[in-house]
């Protein structure tokens, strides 16, 4: 299953993401991972979350992020939740690339019994019908 938190800057996306992360850790039977751009969430989430800075791994495109997620899952089948903050900063500000990633992530999550939550700075009115189903 995939969830998309979409809104303009200052709309509370990161707060929703942090609440989702902390709730997932409290309820999850497996591992929780958060991929962020820069080290901003260190003090906002519980220490039980595996925080990954996308900059440290040079993730700059949709294909790199797909490969990174696939590799993480291949190395740890116990991951039940993945949270991605600031998708545009990680892959570049492109709505079509974000929609491509979300479509891939929905299938990847379903195939691997995990939940993926993505936060991106975009007006929800600009989302395609395919993307709106995940809001």
Q: Give 56-69 pLDDT, tens digit per residue.
A: 999 999 999 999 99
The alpha carbon of residue 104 and the mean position of all alpha carbons in its chain are separated, in whole angstroms, by 12
What pLDDT digit, counting tens, does each position of 22-37 carry?
A: 999 999 889 999 999 9
Least Cα distance to 72 among 82, 63, 62, 87 occurs for 82
pTM for this entry = 0.94
Q: What 3-state DSSP class applies to 109? A: helix
Residue-wise DSSP of 14-64: HHHHHHHHHHHHHH-SSEEEEEESSS-STTTS-TTSEEEETTTTT--SHHH
pLDDT at 111 over 90: yes
Cβ atoms of 87 and 101 within 8 Å: the answer is: yes
Tell me the mean pLDDT in the region 103-110.
96
Q: At what angle are helices 62-75 and 95-111 packed, to 10 degrees?
A: 20
Q: Which CATH superfamily is domain 2-118 in?
A: P-loop containing nucleotide triphosphate hydrolases (3.40.50.300)
């Amino acid at each position: 299953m995939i969830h998309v938190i979409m809104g303009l800057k200052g709309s509370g996306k990161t707060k929703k993401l942090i609440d989702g992360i902390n709730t997932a850790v409290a309820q999850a039977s497996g591992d929780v991972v958060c991929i962020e751009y820069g080290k901003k969430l260190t003090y906002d989430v519980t220490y039980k979350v595996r925080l990954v800075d996308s900059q440290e791994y040079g993730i700059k495109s949709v294909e790199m992020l797909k490969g990174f997620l696939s590799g993480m899952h291949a190395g740890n089948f116990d991951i039940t939740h993945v949270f991605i903050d600031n998708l545009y900063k990680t892959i570049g500000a492109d709505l079509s690339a974000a929609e491509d990633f979300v479509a891939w992530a929905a299938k990847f999550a379903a195939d691997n019994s995990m939940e993926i939550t993505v936060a991106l700075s975009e007006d929800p009115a600009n989302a395609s019908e395919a993307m709106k189903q995940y809001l």
